[in-house]
Amino acid sequence: MSTHHTSSRPTLPVAGEDHARLTIDLSALADNWRAMARRSGAARTAAVLKADAYGIGLEAAAKTFHHAGARDFFVATPAEGAALRGVLPDVRIYVLSGMWAGSERLFFEFDLVPVIVSEEQLVVFMAAIADGGELPCVLHVDTGMNRLGLRVEDAMALASDTSRPASFAPLMLLSHLACGDDPSHPLNRQQLQRFRSVVTAFDDIDATLANSAGIFLGEDYHFTLTRPGIALYGGAAVNDVPNPMKPVVTAEARILQVREAKAGETVSYGASQVFTRDTRIAVVALGYADGYMRSLSGSGVPLRKANIPGASGVLHGRTVPLIGRVTMDLTHFDVTDLPAGSVRAGDFIEVFGRHMPIQDVALAGGTIDYELLTSLGRRYERRYEAVKK
């Protein structure tokens, strides 16, 4: 499999050019989109590209999804939409944060579809199309998350308002599931029923409810468009079941030094871990400045008091535990149980990816794989493995 670099690579120089690296498997990315498209049945399948495509790089991800068949894309902000338009000139791009005063020009200039999230945004949008001409929009309806969107009763009133300007004709309704990752949660069915009532009131309109988790809930939730996000990038969309998605991102960091410590000595800040045996330590060029969070530490952080084990890495096919506290630029792993002489400065340790599931690492840090991916710093060298022909 060949590798190539794209302009998604960070502009900042990387220490040593590869002290920390991300290997991004574009074939797995494409396969994950196709898998979600199959699960979506008759519904069209979009791709969510928020936050620089969940940290892997907008350009490479967008081109991969487009080649796989995606024609609808969701971003968080108009600036993200403008960047995406420069990569894909002929797709539909939805902006989830909607339109606010001062942002109107971007929507017209880059042909972006605002997702209207409030009565205030509706006023801004109506003024914008009165001045600038036709522009499609999506109406966000809050069916139970209490985040963004018109309340169901307000959306229903809008649907039946005979004085509503003819120029306001949303091409799609959108809502978002609060508990889709918990298939048994009663709020899923409640949100589905509320959303159906609004879709019926607007009559013959496209609709989208299912994120990654919602797609797994089944056909009732698919409507006319699904919008997978985390599952495309290899993350776990549903709690407490095996993750069927292929890993996309492998994060590795270079070992800067291998050192010996005696039983009774300590490691890292706070001297929170005392060695009970002579220990071989791999000091790795990775820390919380790279998005490898302090909460992953092997000791000295509140999560360890809750009997949740710290993170581990994989080195030469063996799992090795993180020891002591993660620091800004450096982390320590216990490599004592690997054969003497097998671990050298310059070796790379995998901290999540093909051999260390990202959701397991996230659990060790008391978070979710979304946060790990979108927190990846700019010091990684990103290496893209090309889609297999």
Cα(178)–Cα(180) distance, rounded to whole angstroms?
A: 6
68 phi, psi to nearest 5 deg:
-75, -20
Respond yes or no: is residue 269 known to be catalytic. yes
Token pair for residue 44?
Answer: 């069209």
CB atoms within 10 A of CB 344: 10
50 is catalytic: yes
Q: Which of 50, 221, 233, 380 is catalytic?
A: 50
Distances (CA, A) of 135 to 25, 36, 68: 36, 29, 28
* Site of tokens 């996000």: 229
In sequence order, what are the beta bridge partners of 115?
Answer: 138
Name the phi and psi angles at 3, rounded to 5: -120, 155
The catalytic position among 63, 94, 246, 269 is 269
Three-state DSSP state, 321? strand
Q: What angle do helix axes 186-202 and 152-160 make, rounded to 10 degrees?
A: 10
The answer to whether 11 and 373 have CB atoms below 8 angstroms apart is no
Q: What are the residue numbers of the active site?
A: 50, 269
